[in-house]
Structure 1
Amino acid sequence: MRKELLPGVEAENNAAAKNAKQAKTSQLNNFKNYVKSQLPELEQALIQVSSLSEQLKAILVKQDLDELWRLSEQVDGLEDIRTELKLPPKPKVLGRFEEKYREYRDQYVVLAEMAESVRREWAFETERLNAKPAIDVVKNRFASSQSSLSDQLVRWRRSIMDMLVSEQARITSAVQDDQKEFYKKVSPLLFDVEEGRVPLTAALSEIDDVRAQLSESFSARYEAYKRSLEQISNGIDLDGAFAYVGARTETLEGRLEKIQSLAQVGISVEILSHELHVLDRRLQTSLDRLPVDIKQSKEYAEANWARQELVERLRFLSQMQVSGNDIRQRITGEKVEEYLRAFFSSSFDDLKISLKVSKKFRSVGFFEYPSRIFPVFINLINNSLYWLPADNEKVIEIDIIDGSIVVCDNGPGIDTDDIGNLFELFFTRRVRGRGVGLYLCRQTLAAGGHKISYVNEKPWKLLSGACFVITLRNGFDA
C-alpha cells in the first residue's frame, strides 16, 4: 500500500515545487514591473514635493496667511503620494535588478523625508502665525484625511471587484471545460464495450482510473484555490507570507550550500597552509646557505623581508581558529594598536590612512586567546582599507563607548539592505571578495562568549562610515 502511495506523494511534491517556482518568478516579475512603472511617477513626485517646499518658503517670506492656508490641500495630499509609491514586499534575490531597486528605494526615502519636512513646517508656521483658529485647522485635516481614506478604499474596492468579476468568469469557464473532460476521455469506451472489443472488467477499471485521475487533478486545482480564498478572507497577506517563506527557504538552502563550501575552504586552507610552511622552511634554509656577501646585499634584505611578510600573513590565517598551542593571556588595547600598526604599516603609509586610537582604549585590558582577538581587528581594518575613499582624508578610529570596543571609519558605510546579511557566510560586496571574514569574526568571538555587531546610532557611530561594536563577555579587568 505504501509503495502504491509513494508515486502520488512524489507527484504532489513535484507539483508543489513547480507552483512555488512559478509563484516566486511571478512575484519577482511583478516587483520589477512595479519599480519600472512607478519610477517615473516617483521622479515626478520628487519634483512636485520640491516645488511645494519652495512655494511654502516663498509664502513664509511674504507672510501671506491666505496663501499659506490655501496650501493646506496640497500638504494634506503628500501622504497619499507617499502611500501610492510605497514598495511592495521585496524578493530576497533581485540579481542585476538590485541596482534599479536601490535607486527607487533611495529616491523614495528622499521623497518621504521631504514630504514629512513640508508637513511639519506647514503645521508649525500655521500655528505660529495663527493663520486659522486651531479648531479650523484640525477640522480641515480631519475632513481631508477622511475623504482621502474613503477615496483610497473606493479605488481598492473597484479594483478588487473588477478582478473578482473577471476571476468568476474564468472559474466558470474552467469548470465548464473540466465538466466535459470525463465524457471526452471515456465516451469512446462505450462504443468499444458495445461492439465487444473491451471486456466489462477492463472497461469498469478504465472508467475508475479516469475518474480517479480527473478527481485528483480537479481537487489539486480547485481545493488549493478555495484554500487560498479562505486564507484571504481570514485577512492573511499571502503575498507577504510567501515573500517571507521564500526568503527563509532561500536563506536555509543557501546556508546549507555555504556550510558545504566552507568545509571545502577549510580543507583547502589546511593543505595550502601546510604546503606554504614547508616551502617557507625550504626557502629559509636556502637563504641561510647563501654567501655572506650576498646576505649583506640590498636584494637579499628585500627578499628576506618579503618572506617574513608572507610568514606573518600565514600566522594571521592560522589564528582564525584557536589552536592547542595558544594560551589565554592578558591583552591590552595598547598591544592591539601595536599589532595593527606593525601589520598594516606599509598600507597605512602607502594609502595615507590615519589610525586614531583613544587613550581609553589603550589603557583597557582583558584575558583571552590572542588568536580569538587579533584576527578580528585585522579583518575590520582590512575591510576599511578596501572601502575608504581614494580622494578624501582616510580615517579609522578605535575607542571605548559604554564599555564596548568601537571600530569606525569614514568610508561609505554599509547599505541599509545589506546590514542584515553582513555576518552571513560568503556574503560580500567586494570585487573578488570571499565573504568569510566577518562571519569568522562573529563565530570566533562567539566561541568566547563575546559579541560583534554593526551600528548606525550614536554614541557608537564615531565616524560617517562603517562602525562595528565588540562587546566582551566579562568586560575589561580593573
Structure 2
Amino acid sequence: MTLEVSFQTRARTIDHLGRGQIADSPTAISELWKNAYDAYATSVSLHIFDGTPEVAAIFDDGCGMDARDFVERWLVIGTESKIADPDRPPPETFGLEPRERQGEKGIGRLSAAFLSPATVVVSRKPSGPFAAVMVDWRLFENPFIALDDVRLPVEEFEEPGQLYGLLPRMAEVLLANLGHAGNERGQRLERGWDKFSDHESRSGFRATTASQISAAWQEMPLNRRHLEEWPAFLGLEGHGTALFMLSIHHELAVWVRPESDDAEAEIVQDRLRQTLLGFTDPYGEGRLEFDYEVLLHRGERVSTVLRATDVFGYEELKELEHYVNGSFDENGVFRGRVVVSGRDLGIKEYVPRRPPPKTGRDKLGKFSFCIGTYERDFARTTHTEQQHSRLDTQADKYGGVAIYRDGLRVMPYGRANADVFEIEERRGRHAGRYFWAHKRSFGRVSITRSENPNLRDKAGREGLVDNRAFRELRILVIGLLIDFAYRYFGTDSDIRAEMMPEIMKANATARDAAAKAKTRRRRNVRTFLKELMPDLRSGLAEVEALAAEANEVKRTNDRERATVLAARFQSLAAKKEDLRPPPAPAKLGDLEDKYREYRDGYREFVAGLDNLAKASVDIEASVGSLAPNEAAKRSFSSHQSSLSVKVESYLRKIEGKLDDLRTMWRNKAGEDRGAFYKLCRPLLEDEVDAETLIRFLNLIEAHRRELEEEFAARYTPMLRALDQLAEGIDLDGALSVTEDDKSDLEEKIRDLNAVAQVGITVEIVGHELETLDAEVRRNLMRLPEGIRQSSAFKLAFEAHHALTEKLRFLSPLKVAGYRAREKIRGEAIAEYVGEFFHRAFRDNRITFEATPAFRSLQVVDLPSRIFPVFINLVNNSVYWVTHAVDRRITLDFVDGLVVVADSGRGVDPDDVGRLFELFFTRRAGGRGVGLYLCKTNLGVAHHSIRYACENDPAVLPGANFIIEFRGLTNDA
C-alpha cells in the first residue's frame, strides 16, 4: 500500500535557517539593514544599550508593517514577496527611485536570532496603527516540538504608550509555548519540553532552555529607555520599524561592558567596523539615499561608533596618484580610465583571453570595477607628505576591495582577511611585479541583480556562491590587475620605468636643493656678520668723527682742513657697498639679534654718510675758493672716479670667480668624459660571441643612458643659471624672495591649519551637540502633558528647535566624511538660507527673496561646499542691512551669473581689492574669515566669486556679490 505523506516541520527548522546560517554579528546586522533598505527606508541605525540585560535595537524609517503584515509576511518563512509580480502594486516608496530587492529567500529577518535569544518588533505604516510581535528564538531550539505548535503574540494599538501595558500580556502568550495548558496542543508542548529538558540535564547543562525562557520574561527587559530612542515612538516620524533584541550576543555586548577591553573584544569590535563601514557603495558618482549609523548608550551618554559618512569614496579615489576606473562588458572587455603617478593616460582597454559565458545559468554579465592606491615609499610618491600620511591612516580604516550589489555591500568582501581576488598572495610572490596591495588599495566591484542574476548569495550570507559566474568574475578582475600592473604600474612597466626616476630625482633634488640653499644662506649670513661687524663699528665711529670735523671746518673756514675732510669722506663712502648686509633668510634662529643689530647699525651708518654728503656740499660751496661752476665739475669728477673704482673692483672679483668656476667645471668635465670608459672597460675584457653580443650591447646602452641622464641633471641647471645671469636676473635675490615667499606660505598654511582646526572642532563639538540635542528633545517629550501644553514649554521648545536648526549649519563644515557631488537646485539653497535665518529675518524686519530664475538654477557640486558660501554671504548682508531703512536681501540669477545682493551701504571702493583676504573685515566684531572661505571653497571646484564691478548686474543698491558657477544650468 502506498502512503501519501508530507514533510513534517519541527520548530528547530527556524533555528537552522536563522542562527545556524549566520557567521557573525556584523553579517546578521547587515542582513537586517538590507531588510530596511527593501522597505524603502532612507536611514537605519543600530543602538546598543548597557544594562542588565544588555539590549540592542535597529531603527529604520521604512514603510513599516501592520498586524496583518506581521501575520501574512513577517511570520511566513520563504514568503513569495521576494518573487517579482508584475500585477502586484508597488510598496510605498516615499518618492524614492525603485530599488532592487536585496532579499532572496525570505529568511533575512531570522538573522535576529543570532543577535539575541529574544526579539520584540514594533512597526507602523504611514497614518496607520502601531503593531508589535514578540519572539523568543530559544523556542525553536527544541527538536521535540512541531513548528505549528509554536504561537507568537501579535498586537495592534493606536497610541505608543499603550505598548507598555501590552508587553506583559504578550509575554504570557509566549510563555504558553512551554506547555502546561489543558488542551491537546499544551500537552504536546509539555511532553516535548520534558524530553528536551531531560536531554539537556543528561548532557550536563546547568540550566535548561525552558527554565531560561521562563526566567527571562519574569521581568520585562524592554522599557522606556529603549523605546523612546525610536523617533516613530515619540511621534517624530510617521512610519518605520524598530527591532529590539534582548540579552544580546557577546559580540554586541562587548561594546557597552566596562570590563570588555581585552584583545578578544578589540577583535570583535574591529570586525564590526570593517564589515559595516562602507555598507553602501561610496564609489558611485551618485550617492545612495540610505544612511546608517551605530550608536552606543552607556548610562545617559550616547556615542557614535560609525556612520554612513565615514568612507573613502569616489572623490578621494580620483585624488590618488594611481587608479583604474571603468567597467567590464558582457564579453569581459574592460574599458576605463587609467591614472599612473598622477598622469592621466586616458581610456585603456583590457581584453581577456576568452570571453565569459553570455547565456544560461553561467552568464556573468556587465559590471563596474575601480581600484586605486598610492606609493608606499615616500621617495617615489607624487603626493605631499601630508597627503601621504593621511592615506596611510585611511588605508588602515578603509583599505580593501569590496563587492557591492545594487549599491549595498556583499559580505565579507573587502575585509582585511577576505581578499577575494588574491591580491596579497600574488604580492607575496613578487611585490614589485604584481604591484597591488589589498590592504593599501581602495576599490570595489559593482554588480546588479538585473545584469548579474547568477551571482547569488551563499546560504549563510557570507559571500557569493562559488559557481561559474563567480569564478569568471574573479578571473576577469585578477587578469585585469595582473595585466595593468605589467603594462602601467609594476616594476616591469615601461611607463613606470620612464616616470619613476624623474619622480624620485625631483623629490630628492627638491629636498636637497632646498636644504642646501637654506644652509648656505644661513652660513653666509653668519660669516658676513662675524667678519664685517668690526668694520661697521669702525665706520660708525669714523662717521661720528667726520661729522664733528665738518662742524669745525664750517666754523673756522679752513680750506686745507676742508680738502682733507673731502678726501676722508670719499674713502669712507667707498665702504658703503662692502658693508651692506645680505638678504636674510626667513628664519634666522640664533642669528636674529646679531642680524638686527648689524642692520640697525648699517642704517645709522648710511644716514651718517648722507648727512656728511650734505655737509661736504655746504663746505665746498662756502669754504672752497673755486668758482661755483668749477666746484660742480670737481664734485662730478670725484663721484665719477669713485664709482669707476667701485665697478672695477666688482669686475675683478667677478673675473676671479669666473676663472675659479671655469677651472672647476673643466676638471669636472674631464672626469665625466672618462666615466663611460671606466664603466664599460671591464666589459671589453670579456670574450663576446654571438650569444652574448645582444646582452653586451644592451648593457653598454644602459650605461650610456644612465650617464646621459646624470650629465643632463648636472649641466642643465648650470646652463639655465648662466642664461638667467646673462639676462640680468639676480639669482641670489630671486632665491631670497622664494625663500621668503615660502616662509610666508608656511605662515599662511599655519593660519589655514588653525582655521581647519575650527572645522575639526566643529565636527567634534557638533557630534556632541547632536547627542545632547537628542537627549534634550527626548526628555522634553517625557514631561507631563500639562507642562507640554503650557506657553513656557512651547517657547522653550521653539527656542530649542531654533538652536538645532543653527546646528544644521555645522554639518557642512565637517572635515571628514563622504563627499559625493549632487545636483543642487537654487530652490534648495533658498529654502536652506530662509530656514537658517528665519528668526534673524523676522526679528530684524528683513525682506528675503529668491527670484524664480534663481530657484530654477541647478549646479552639480558638494552641498558641503556650496551651502556655506550662501550662508556666509547672507550672514554678512544681515549685519549690514540692519543699518539701513530699506532692509532687503535677494538671491538672483542674471545673464548666467548668480547674484547675492542686499540694500545695505555696500563696500567702500578702497576695500574691494581686499574683500577676500583672510582676516580682513570692516564689520565690528568680525573675524574676516567668511569671504575668504567662500572664495577658497568655490575655487577648488573652479567656480569664482567677486564683488560686482561696473559691467556686472546690480540687483540692489547695496552690496552685490557675483558667483560664476562652472557647469550651471537653468530650467526656467
Common fold by TM > 0.5: yes
Q: Residue 589 of structure 2 aligns with which residue?
A: 95
Q: Residue 496 of structure 2 aligns with which residue?
A: 3
Q: Which has the higher strand share?
A: 2
Deviation at 1:144, TM superposition (A): 1.6
Q: Residue 208 of structure 1 aligns with which residue?
A: 701
1:193 and 1:203 in contact (8 A); partners too: no
Task: Output the CA distance in 2 between the equivalents of 1:183 and 1:136.
Answer: 71
CA pair 161-83 structure 1, distance change in 2 beyond 3 A: same
2:536 and 2:601 in contact (8 A); partners too: yes
* Counterpart selection for 1:251 from 738, 744, 752: 744
* Counterpart selection for 1:174 from 659, 665, 668: 668
Task: Output the CA distance in 1 between the equivalents of 2:766 and 2:599.
Answer: 44
2:558 and 2:623 in contact (8 A); partners too: no
Structure 1 portions without partners, runs of 5+:
279-322, 330-366, 371-402, 404-422, 426-438, 448-472
Q: Residue 561 of structure 2 aligns with which residue?
A: 67
* Counterpart selection for 2:614 from 109, 120, 123: 120
* Count of residue pairs the alignment pairs up: 313
Task: Output the CA distance in 2 between the equivalents of 1:131 and 1:444.
Answer: 71
CA pair 271-129 structure 1, distance change in 2 beyond 3 A: farther
Q: Residue 645 of structure 2 aligns with which residue?
A: 151
CA pair 165-446 structure 1, distance change in 2 beyond 3 A: closer
Task: Output the CA distance in 2 between the equivalents of 1:225 and 1:244.
Answer: 20
Matches within 5 A, 1:14-93: 14-17=507-510, 18-93=512-587
CA pair 35-368 structure 1, distance change in 2 beyond 3 A: farther
Q: Residue 191 of structure 1 aligns with which residue?
A: 685
Q: Residue 375 of structure 2 aligns with which residue?
A: none
Deviation at 1:88, TM superposition (A): 2.1
Residue 710 of structure 2 aligns with an amino acid whose one-letter code is: S
1:53 and 1:118 in contact (8 A); partners too: yes
2:614 aligned with 1:109:
no
For each residue in 1:149-195, what CA deviation from the matched residue of structure 2 results, as whole angstroms up to 9, or x when unmatched? Answer: 1211221121111112112111111111112211111111122334x
CA pair 67-272 structure 1, distance change in 2 beyond 3 A: farther
Matches within 5 A, 1:250-269: 250-265=743-758, 267-268=760-761
Task: Output the CA distance in 2 between the equivalents of 1:197 and 1:103.
Answer: 75
Residue 692 of structure 2 aligns with an amino acid whose one-letter code is: P
What is the TM-score normalised by the length of structure 2? 0.29
Task: Output the CA distance in 2 between the equivalents of 1:272 and 1:117.
Answer: 63
Q: Residue 713 of structure 2 aligns with which residue?
A: 220
1:39 and 1:104 in contact (8 A); partners too: yes
Task: Output the CA distance in 2 between the equivalents of 1:91 and 1:443.
Answer: 30
Deviation at 1:97, TM superposition (A): 1.3
Q: Which has the higher helix share?
A: 1
For each residue in 1:269-295, what CA deviation from the matched residue of structure 2 results, as whole angstroms up to 9, or x when unmatched? Answer: 8978999xx9xxxxxxxxxxxxxxxxx
For each residue in 1:248-302, what CA deviation from the matched residue of structure 2 results, as whole angstroms up to 9, or x when unmatched? Answer: 2332244234312332256558978999xx9xxxxxxxxxxxxxxxxxxxxxxxx
CA pair 269-137 structure 1, distance change in 2 beyond 3 A: farther
Matches within 5 A, 1:327-476: 369=879, 443=929
1:66 and 1:131 in contact (8 A); partners too: no
Task: Output the CA distance in 2 between the equivalents of 1:120 and 1:67.
Answer: 17
For each residue in 1:93-152, what CA deviation from the matched residue of structure 2 results, as whole angstroms up to 9, or x when unmatched? Answer: 212212111111111111111111121123234334565322232222212212111211
Larger Rg: 1 or 2? Answer: 2
SS in 1 for 2:582: coil
CA pair 92-51 structure 1, distance change in 2 beyond 3 A: same
Moved more, 260-269 or 68-77: 260-269
Task: Output the CA distance in 1 between the equivalents of 2:618 and 2:651.
Answer: 36
Task: Output the CA distance in 1 between the equivalents of 2:571 and 2:762.
Answer: 60
2:585 and 2:740 in contact (8 A); partners too: yes
Structure 2 portions without partners, runs of 5+:
1-493, 773-835, 845-876, 881-907, 909-916, 920-924, 934-957, 960-972
* Counterpart selection for 1:134 from 608, 611, 628: 628
For each residue in 1:412-446, what CA deviation from the matched residue of structure 2 results, as whole angstroms up to 9, or x when unmatched? Answer: xxxxxxxxxxx988xxxxxxxxxxxxx97555899
Moved more, 124-133 or 95-104: 124-133
For each residue in 1:377-410, what CA deviation from the matched residue of structure 2 results, as whole angstroms up to 9, or x when unmatched? Answer: xxxxxxxxxxxxxxxxxxxxxxxxxx9xxxxxxx
SS in 2 for 1:90: coil
What is the TM-score normalised by the length of structure 1? 0.56
2:554 and 2:623 in contact (8 A); partners too: no
Question: Equivalent pairs: percent with the same residue?
Answer: 28
Deviation at 1:197, TM superposition (A): 12
2:543 and 2:605 in contact (8 A); partners too: yes
Higher relative contact order (CA 8 A, sep 6+): 1
1:59 and 1:68 in contact (8 A); partners too: yes
2:536 and 2:602 in contact (8 A); partners too: yes
SS in 1 for 2:581: coil
1:75 and 1:118 in contact (8 A); partners too: yes
Residue 110 of structure 1 aligns with an amino acid whose one-letter code is: E
The alignment yields a C-alpha RMSD, in angstroms, of 4.3
Q: Residue 213 of structure 2 aligns with which residue?
A: none
Q: Residue 314 of structure 1 aligns with which residue?
A: none
Deviation at 1:81, TM superposition (A): 2.4
